[in-house]
Structure 1
Amino acid sequence: MNKTSTAAAVLVVGTLALAGCTDNTTQASADGAISVVSTDDACNVSTDTTAGGTIKFDVKNEGSAVTEFYLLAEDGLRIVGEVENIGPGVTRDLVVMAPQGKYFTACKPGMVGDGIRAAFTVNEAADGQEVSADRAALQKNATDQYAAYVKDQNEQLVRGTEKFADAFASGDEELAKSLYAPTRMHWERIEPVAESFGDLDPILDAREADLEDGEDFTGWHRAEKDLWAPKGYTKMTESEREKIATKMVEDTKELYTRTQSLEFTPDQLANGAKELLDEVATGKVTGEEETFSHTDLWDFQANLEGAKIAYEDLQPLLVGTDDALDEELKTNFAALQKQLDAYREGDGFKYYQDLSDAQIKELASGVDALSEPLSKLTAAVVK
């Protein structure tokens, strides 16, 4: 997971007044998209208000470092939509469906720190934004299916975390190690949903390398480090393990509680699928996610499964409207799965360090091949 993206979601509204937030002199795109220009010290958005419905942002990075762009809900915590890993000179689109209300835009130069934010207002939907009854029914069915999937994954995550925590706290390292990667797959399948809770995501899934000075190292990766202890590391005491384990269970149950009443929109499913592939590209296929256990391919598989579930829920909306995209997605999902299957061993996968540079490069190419058509899914299903 790209943990550097998490900080943008955990800020409270009181931190919004940052310099260089909005410059309304930036022009909107010819297709009606809102132009966003991110630099090293500014986030210039062409307008601070728009009509509700389908909203498109054209985000250009004119800075010297990789940047990200977010549309945040009124509380400043929930991520409505995001586009990550925008390199210098690169333009990326963010397409969301947003109802009338108050929001915030945010650029995050360097993918670190608090981000550069500004208030953003969505007014009543413009004429022509209404969705036909038949298409609306397909959209509702897709989102209802996905909501049920999220609840199921969270239920399994709670049960798995309880078993893992018991083994970890008791010092049964062999059992805890065997439970670690399979249990985390439930988290990884619904990672964009889990990440949207900005207060829970960092304490459950932050990597040590992404912590800022003074931040506590807790959650899955804290346990991972203790189980696969690097050279020179001092193992936790029994009481320290129990504290970490207890907190993991409490926070996972809180995540479960919060997701029970969640409602989704088609753009959230499509954008979430793309985010999962971005997670693979920036963390799993690079070996940066599971620094100590090297179980990155388990996470890779889970991210791929989560993206495919979102696509399959939305697939009826492509029939007759964008059959070419539908076929390309089917083909590329299958191709990437075939590549990943080559590294299966028993009930799991090879450890990341056992892959050659050529194999890693091949997997990265497969991720890129799927990511490109997947980036078109949002625009296709919100028509």
Structure 2
Amino acid sequence: MRRITAASAASLLMLAGCGSTDDEAGTSDGTIAVAASDTTCDVAKSESGAGTVTFAIANKGSKVTEFYVYAAGDRVMGEVENIAPGLSRELHVELAAGTYETACKPGMIGKGIRNGFTVTGSAAALTEDAKLAGATADYQRYVKSQTGALIEKTTEFVAAVKAGDVAKAKALFPVSRTYWERIEPVAEIFGDLDPAIDGREDGLEPGQDFTGYHRIEKDLWETGDISESGPIADKLLADVQKIVDKANSEPLSPLQLANGAKELLDEVASGKITGEEDRYSHTDLWDFAANVEGSRAAIAALRPALEEKDPALVKTLDEKFAAVEAGLATHRSGDGWKLHNELSEADLKTLSDQINALAEPISKVAGLVASK
């Protein structure tokens, strides 16, 4: 769950460097231009034919923004986050005939500035390509393995909280979150469950309760008193179970894998590098590593299709992933990682540069997957 501050905005300006600064970028060849500001979300078209739809979002405002395509019930069909002021990003999303909403989110909070969007007709699914069908099947198996571990470790974490075992709960907190962070783009598809599980206190909407992992994290590290945290822990486990059930039954598009791989790197830049995510425990490097692992898993599933279309890109991705993993490995501590507040500014700058270098080639994957 992201909320942009001045510190994270600086990281995102670098990460978004693969975007265009041209306000008219991507408006040809059927691409739908979106002009986003702090108060408006002007989508050039309100309808499209079925199949792969490409939006080119230019941020003309002063705040970092996001762009979403929602189906009924706020089910996320596609999203692009962390669009810094003055930059543009593209979103490729596969849509069947139906009624949708588009949304810009200035400041990356709230329900967004919404517009109706209609899709008509029919088109061959991307999964009619055998390699892309194989990619979604392989990734679905990965999601199933991660959700199984997520339930197991979250159950252990909740039991420790309810037993009042502060030391054990602290040890289990970053471990249980690892499995969540690896598949967060899938979890974020399902409306309000993500903020209930992973919302931060300063990112809450009016009337929204502070629940989930970070509420318990605050209790554990700020006061050390978890005597009244049982109901929050029970709710966390119930919400995680809902995510697990939905994630294991949700059919995914190859473009969701490609977009998710990039979103996980955006997660690193917007919260993990800056230390904003796990601000009480400082266990951000567990999340950092999990985000990178989840991104790599999505790319690994897509690898046969990518090698067919652009083997040079695959080689570059392998090199950049290896560089990030090698850089992160220098901050190992036992079976886990150093705390964020144990890293120097130079350490964080090196990690940030490595993530930026990986983000650029990963930003090309969705367009490649969408290409015929």
1:88 aligns with 2:85: yes
Kindly provide the CA deviation profile for residues 64-115 of structure 1, in whole angstroms up to 9, marking residues without a partner as x: 221111111133x111111111122111111112122211111112222321
Q: Give the 5 Å matches for 1:1-383.
A: 1-3=1-3, 29-75=27-73, 77-125=74-122, 136-229=129-222, 233=223, 235-236=225-226, 238=227, 240-383=228-371
- Displacement of 1:254 after TM fit? 1.6
Give the stretch that moved more between structures: 39-48 or 308-317.
Answer: 39-48
Aligned partners of 1:27 and 1:46 also within 8 Å: no
- Let me know the Cα RMSD of the aligned residues: 1.8
Change (3 A) 1:355 1:95: same
SS at match of 2:286: helix
- Displacement of 1:3 after TM fit? 5.0
Give the stretch that moved more between structures: 28-37 or 40-49.
Answer: 28-37
Change (3 A) 1:324 1:235: same
Who is 2:12 aligned against? none
Aligned partners of 2:146 and 2:183 also within 8 Å: yes
- Displacement of 1:27 after TM fit? 11
- The letter of the residue matching 1:331 is E
Q: How many residues are treated as equivalent by the alignment?
A: 352
Aligned partners of 2:320 and 2:357 also within 8 Å: yes
- Displacement of 1:167 after TM fit? 0.7
- Distance (whole Å) between structure 1 residues aligned to residue 352 and residue 145 of structure 2: 30
Q: TM-score, normalised by structure 1?
A: 0.88
SS at match of 2:325: helix
- The letter of the residue matching 2:355 is V
Who is 1:18 aligned against? none
Aligned partners of 2:3 and 2:107 also within 8 Å: no
- Distance (whole Å) between structure 1 residues aligned to residue 224 and residue 332 of structure 2: 33
Give the stretch that moved more between structures: 301-310 or 149-158.
Answer: 149-158
Q: Which has the larger Rg?
A: 1
- Distance (whole Å) between structure 1 residues aligned to residue 308 and residue 151 of structure 2: 40
SS at match of 1:255: helix
Change (3 A) 1:188 1:312: same
Aligned partners of 1:3 and 1:202 also within 8 Å: no
Q: TM-score, normalised by structure 2?
A: 0.91
- Displacement of 1:132 after TM fit? 9.2
Change (3 A) 1:235 1:213: farther
- Displacement of 1:131 after TM fit? 5.7
- The letter of the residue matching 1:218 is T
**Structure 2 unmatched runs, 5+:** 5-23
Aligned partners of 2:151 and 2:241 also within 8 Å: yes
